[in-house]
Amino acid sequence: MKSLRFNQLELLSSSKELGGRFEFQPRLNLITGVDNDVGKSSLVKSILWVLGCEPSFDDDWISIDCKGIVDFTVDDIRYSVARYKDQLYLKKGDGEYKKYTRVTGEYSDVFSEIVRFNALLPARPKEGEVPRLETPPPAYYFLPYYLDQKKTWSHPWAGFKNLGQYANWQKTIIKYHAGYLSDEHFQIEESIYDAKVLETENNFEIERIDNALAVVNKYFVESNVDFSDEFFEAAKSEIDIDLAALCNEQELLLQKLSELRGEEQYLLNQLGYARHAANEIELDYIFSVENLETDHLECPVCGTEHDNSVISRSSLLADEQKLKSQADDLQIEYRSTLTALNETESRLNSVRQEIDYIEGKYSKEGIGQDYTNLIDTISSRQVKQRVSVVLHDKHSDAKRYSNTLKNLKGRQRKLLNRNEREKLDSDFTELMVTYINDLNATRVNLSRINKPTDYNKVYDNGGAAHNSRAVLAYYLALYSHMRKHGSCVRAPLIIDTPNQHEQSDINYESIISVLTEDKLGDGQIFLCAMDNQALKPFAQYANVITLDKEQLFSKSRFHEVRERFESVFS
């Protein structure tokens, strides 16, 4: 299995004239210090931040206004990523840096290619749209490899901020990492998306045609007289000679009226959406001002921190004003459409009056036939015949798209059969049992944990210290499981402060022993921990980075690293 390995991290604060450089070895790396306030967590968070993740930094780190460069390899291929705020620069080998202005989009696509992370997630759709599939940012790749000091030990799969940009992503991402979903699954998913787009557009056309027929039925009434086919064709032939222009205009007016009706309904709906959204934002702003005392709000469900600063609240007002402006524009366009509707209906009535006048010219007294609606009958039959052909084709297309979607979803289900799924479940359960025993977390009810997506059942098992060991057992089991069944490049395992809730000496020694053993394979491991005798077995083989009171930065390092940063960001 191919592996990603971090080689070096460089940090620079131009405003504070501070710099830092840290080199890592391919296997074990221990980041330690004499107390909890020396930047151990910030060091590993900085690595992940540079690569495009959004970990939770403290205010001191944020105030430094830091730039970072990470050098890493995927097998023998060298890469370098530099970041400042949302700007990222990536290069391969000795090539040139390419600039990206945001984490999502092109940068996420390129990074995912490097680590072979081919998962796709549906973006939150606009009203009436099919959710667009996109490559998720690097955070979703690193999630199973990172145990954050604060969040992960108490909230599953919550090591980074801003994960709520996708709805219900957990099951898809976990299944992909654990080998239940393959790259082919997402290739088919893209075909499903394309088919859904065509199906949605086709259904919209069917709706428009139905609206057109409704207009025909409203403005044209079939004659009550049952004309014979011979009579109807003869009359039609004669009338078409004199009334071709009028009939043609009626059809054009009918088509225009249908389109205007559809446009009227569309604008009315959009106007409602815009007004509703503006009202919701106004309520959000009132709530953020009157009910929240801090600049941050933590979601009680997933733990994600949301910004509630003055800048954030001001952006709410800006969004509200933008929506109100859009609503005003839509109102103007809606009134214009109503005017056009009235004018079209008025012209249609005028055409009908002309037709009524011409009907008198073709009426034959005493023949016993009712010619009152003869012209309307001819026109409506012509329109309905043409529309019926199109509608038939559209319904045939709808059936074809439905069958395509059914077949694609069937192919997806066949990618993993029952025996293969049970084998994956069995392998994960076996690994869970192994690490639960190794870490003395035996109070976990393993009968409820049968697969990687059962992560919620791992939490809240016994006391706080015991629960932390159970969480570690889950992540180590998943790490080993991905090593065997995953398709992505393996990332370094980062464990921030495993001595959660003051583990007993014997349990802490067990934790360190498991992290030092070969059963985790030859992947790169980062361990952040306060200096402790129990760390000696790990430190014996590790690259030890001991942070002092200067934390991550120092004045002396500033000039050493500044030149490289200037060459990248210039």
CA–CA gap between residue 165 and residue 102 (Å, rounded): 15
Of 96 and 359, the structure prediction assigns the larger pLDDT to 96
CA distances from 6 to 48, 160, 289, 512, 526 (A): 10, 19, 43, 21, 10
Percent with pLDDT over 70 in the chain: 81
Name the pLDDT band for 186 (thresholds 50, 70, 90): very high
Cβ(544)–Cβ(34) below 8 Å? no
Q: What pLDDT shows up at residue 366?
A: 34
CA distances from 298 to 57, 154, 281 (A): 14, 14, 19
Tokens for 101, please give them. Answer: 């202005």
- 3-class secondary structure per residue, 405-461: HHHHHHHHHHCCCHHHHHHHHHHHHHHHHHHHHHCCCCCCCHHHCCCHHHHHHCCCC
Q: What pLDDT shows up at residue 311?
A: 60
Tokens for 480, please give them. Answer: 């080993």
pLDDT per position as a tens digit, 24-39? 999 999 999 876 666 8
Cβ(139)–Cβ(163) below 8 Å? yes
CA distances from 80 to 5, 77, 95, 126, 413 (A): 12, 10, 10, 36, 39
pLDDT per position as a tens digit, 472-525? 999 999 999 999 999 999 999 999 988 877 788 898 999 999 999 888 889 999
Please report, as a single letter, which amino acid is at residue 528.
Answer: C
Q: What pLDDT shows up at residue 54?
A: 94
pLDDT per position as a tens digit, 197-250? 888 888 888 888 788 777 767 766 555 545 555 666 666 665 666 566 777 777
Q: What pLDDT shows up at residue 234?
A: 61
Tokens for 507, please give them. Answer: 């349990």
CA–CA gap between residue 232 and residue 216 (Å, rounded): 20
Name the pLDDT band for 303 (thresholds 50, 70, 90): low
Of 434 and 1, the structure prediction assigns the larger pLDDT to 434
Please determine, for residue 79, whether its predicted confidence score (pLDDT) is greater than 80: yes
Q: What pLDDT shows up at residue 209?
A: 78
Mean pLDDT of 78-104: 95
CA–CA gap between residue 557 and residue 548 (Å, rounded): 14
| Paired sense of beta strands 121-122 and 133-134, if any | antiparallel
Q: What pLDDT shows up at residue 228?
A: 59
Cβ(68)–Cβ(10) below 8 Å? yes
CA–CA gap between residue 497 and residue 503 (Å, rounded): 11
Name the pLDDT band for 386 (thresholds 50, 70, 90): confident
Mean pLDDT of 319-335: 79
Helices (H), 162-228: 170-177, 183-219
Mean pLDDT of 135-155: 93
Q: What pLDDT shows up at residue 367?
A: 37
Of 79-88, 368-377, 438-447, 484-493, the poorest mean pLDDT is in 368-377
The model's pTM is: 0.72
Highest mean pLDDT (candidates 106-110, 328-332, 355-359): 106-110
Which residues touch 235 (CB under 8 Å, ≥6 apart)? 227, 362, 374, 378
Please determine, for residue 392, whether its predicted confidence score (pLDDT) is greater than 70: yes
**Where do we find the tokens 């039959």?**
381
Tokens for 314, please give them. Answer: 């001001």
Q: What pLDDT shows up at residue 369?
A: 47
Please determine, for residue 112, whether its predicted confidence score (pLDDT) is greater than 80: yes
Of 185 and 246, the structure prediction assigns the larger pLDDT to 185
pLDDT per position as a tens digit, 397-438? 888 888 999 999 999 999 999 999 999 999 999 999 999 999
Mean pLDDT of 465-478: 91
Q: What pLDDT shows up at residue 87?
A: 95
Cβ(135)–Cβ(147) below 8 Å? no
Q: What pLDDT shows up at residue 178?
A: 96
Dihedral angle, C-alpha 285, 291, 297, 299, nearest 10 °: -100
CA–CA gap between residue 74 and residue 490 (Å, rounded): 9
Of 160-164, 314-318, 368-372, 437-441, the poorest mean pLDDT is in 368-372
Ordered by where they begin, the domains of the chain are 4-182+416-569 (3.40.50.300), 226-349 (1.10.287)
Degrees, nearest 5: CA angle 15-21-24: 150
CA atoms within 13 A on the CB side of 319: 16
**Could you tell me which of 146, 119, 348 has the C-alpha nearest to residue 254?**
348
Mean pLDDT of 374-390: 67
Please determine, for residue 183, whether its predicted confidence score (pLDDT) is greater than 90: yes
Q: What pLDDT shows up at residue 365?
A: 43
Q: Which residues pair with 19 in a beta bridge?
A: 12, 554
